[in-house]
């Protein structure tokens, strides 16, 4: 099977990880990404041992080390911390996933930095500016159709093209996309020395969610790299194009789409950061002074609205040469910080399955079926739980006998 070739639709976190894993295994692949390059799409990503171990499997040693060195410094508590709007701790819950590395744990990364690291060495593999429009099956081959009228042929097609996957919609049109009705205003707050000194320590724990009145919540996650990004990249991957990143606090203000706070915004999706900034200010106006200060000091140029959407889990589907990974098949709300980690897990497991099919002469469809079955067994419990409106239940964070805060 020396001519075996894998087509990957989508060059996000999962697609690039899969490409690196396949290259490491000596398997030919091409990634087709609609965006013109590695654009800014989100900020901080929580990482756990599930995602970190997948990166260790798929990346060359120098790029894996670069990921570790540009990860966030280890917080005093690597946990999910729930607080109220006055910065009073409600409780903590361990992050999902296997035991973390006790010496240098997986913490968090800057999303674009991770993508730039994973793109390193793949210049001849990734085709930017190539939206996919569908596919055709021809016996034991798959033809990927591209928006410019051209096509590409391979032995396997992997849908890594996210929540709105063109490939999934063609292959599994019965899976609906669900809009939760929540809107997230995601933004970065520059972490200057004076701001760091003024903020409560609890805001620098692993991942922090503040629950406020009127169904408003603020999610916080610090990004303070273990080593300056540019410095680490110059040493470990001098040929890679990796931008420097200053420390910041990621903040997500989550409100309902019907909230009065959005009443003055005619079109959320075309509003500028300067127009959205007052929404965040007003939403947290009576909160703890440290939280209102963060709302004041956010960088409006980084403020971006997002819909919180998900897919409905399906129990099974017919196995074929078209398969899926990450958000293309199990897009979930960010409730447990598992979206990126499970996408990386999928990529590593699929790379192993395809390596077995090409080197051990295992049956290709048998290996794909096993990969999909294992994915459902491992990821679906998190997938289903994240879709439950009770996923953030204060009682889950409290010791027995402690009353839940009523609002």
Block residue for tokens 């010791």: 399
In Å, how far are 4, 15, 56 from 324, measured between CA atoms?
Answer: 18, 10, 21
CATH code reported for the domain at 5-396: 3.50.50.60
Q: Where are the domains of the chain?
A: 5-396
Q: pLDDT tens across 29-72, in order? A: 999 999 999 887 778 999 999 999 999 999 999 999 999 999 99
- Which SS3 state, helix, strand or coil, does residue 34 take? coil
Strand partners, 136: 143
Residue 389 has pLDDT above 80, yes or no: no
Q: pLDDT tens across 349-358, in order? A: 999 999 999 9
In this prediction, residues 192-197 reach a mean pLDDT of 96
- DSSP letters of 321-374? SEEE-THHHH---GGGS-HHHHHHHHHHHHHHHHHHHHHS---HHHHHHHHHHH
Backbone angles phi, psi at 266, to 5 degrees: -60, -40
Is the Cβ–Cβ distance between 13 and 115 less than 8 Å? yes
pTM, whole model, 2 decimals? 0.94
In which band, very low, low, confident or very high, does the pLDDT at 339 lie, cut at 50, 70 and 90? very high
> Which secondary-structure segment (H or E) carries 65?
helix 61-69
Cα–Cα distance measured from residue 11 to residue 32, given in angstroms and rounded to the nearest whole number: 7
pLDDT at 96: 81
Query: In this structure, what is the dihedral angle of CA atoms 328, 40, 208, 67, given to the nearest 10 degrees?
Result: 90
Block residue for tokens 């910080």: 337
Identify which of 32-46, 368-382, 393-407 has the greatest average pLDDT: 368-382
Cα–Cα distance measured from residue 69 to residue 225, given in angstroms and rounded to the nearest whole number: 7
Backbone angles phi, psi at 30, to 5 degrees: -140, 135
In Å, how far are 3, 189, 190 from 307, measured between CA atoms?
Answer: 42, 21, 24
Is the Cβ–Cβ distance between 157 and 321 less than 8 Å? yes
Q: pLDDT tens across 283-303, in order? A: 999 999 999 999 999 999 999
Residue 115 has pLDDT above 80, yes or no: yes
Tokens at residue 7, please?
A: 């087509």
- Which SS3 state, helix, strand or coil, does residue 44 take? strand
Cα–Cα distance measured from residue 309 to residue 97, given in angstroms and rounded to the nearest whole number: 23
- Which SS3 state, helix, strand or coil, does residue 117 take? helix
Is the Cβ–Cβ distance between 132 and 37 less than 8 Å? no
């Amino acid at each position: 099977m020396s001519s075996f070739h894998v087509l990957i639709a989508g060059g996000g976190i999962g697609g690039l990880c899969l490409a690196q894993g396949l290259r490491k295994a000596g398997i030919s692949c091409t990634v087709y990404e609609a965006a013109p390059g590695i654009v800014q799409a989100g900020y901080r990503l929580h990482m756990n041992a599930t995602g970190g171990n997948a990166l260790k499997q798929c990346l060359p040693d120098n790029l894996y080390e670069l990921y570790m060195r540009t990860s966030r410094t280890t917080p005093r508590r690597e946990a999910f911390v729930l607080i109220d709007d006055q910065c009073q701790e409600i409780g903590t819950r361990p992050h999902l996933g296997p035991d973390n590395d006790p010496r240098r744990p997986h913490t968090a990364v800057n999303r674009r930095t991770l993508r730039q690291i994973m793109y390193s060495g793949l210049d001849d593999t990734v085709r930017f500016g190539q939206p996919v429009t569908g596919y055709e099956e021809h016996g034991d081959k798959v033809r990927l159709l591209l928006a410019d009228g051209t096509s590409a042929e391979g032995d396997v097609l992997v849908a890594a093209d996210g929540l709105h996957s063109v490939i999934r919609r063609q292959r599994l049109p019965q899976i609906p996309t669900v809009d939760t009705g929540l809107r997230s205003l995601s933004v970065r707050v520059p972490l200057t020395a004076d701001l760091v000194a003024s903020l409560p320590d609890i805001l620098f724990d692993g991942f922090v969610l503040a629950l406020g009145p009127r169904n408003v919540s603020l999610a916080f996650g610090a990004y303070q790299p273990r080593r300056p990004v540019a410095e680490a990249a110059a040493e470990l991957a001098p040929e890679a194009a990796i931008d420097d990143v200053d420390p910041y606090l990621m903040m997500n203000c989550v409100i309902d789409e019907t909230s009065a706070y959005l009443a003055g915004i005619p079109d959320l999706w075309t509003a500028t950061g300067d127009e959205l900034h007052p929404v965040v200010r007003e939403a947290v106006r009576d909160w703890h002074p440290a939280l209102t200060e963060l709302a004041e000091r956010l960088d409006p140029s980084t403020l971006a609205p997002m819909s919180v959407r998900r897919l409905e889990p399906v129990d099974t589907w017919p196995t074929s040469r078209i398969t899926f990974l990450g958000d293309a098949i199990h897009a979930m709300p960010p409730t447990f910080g598992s979206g990126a980690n499970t996408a990386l897990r999928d990529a590593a497991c699929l790379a192993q399955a395809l390596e077995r099919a090409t080197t051990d002469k295992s049956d290709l469809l048998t290996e794909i079926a096993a990969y999909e079955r294992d994915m459902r067994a491992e990821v679906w419990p998190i997938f289903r739980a994240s879709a439950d409106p009770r996923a953030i239940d204060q009682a889950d964070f409290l010791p027995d006998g402690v009353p839940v805060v009523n609002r």
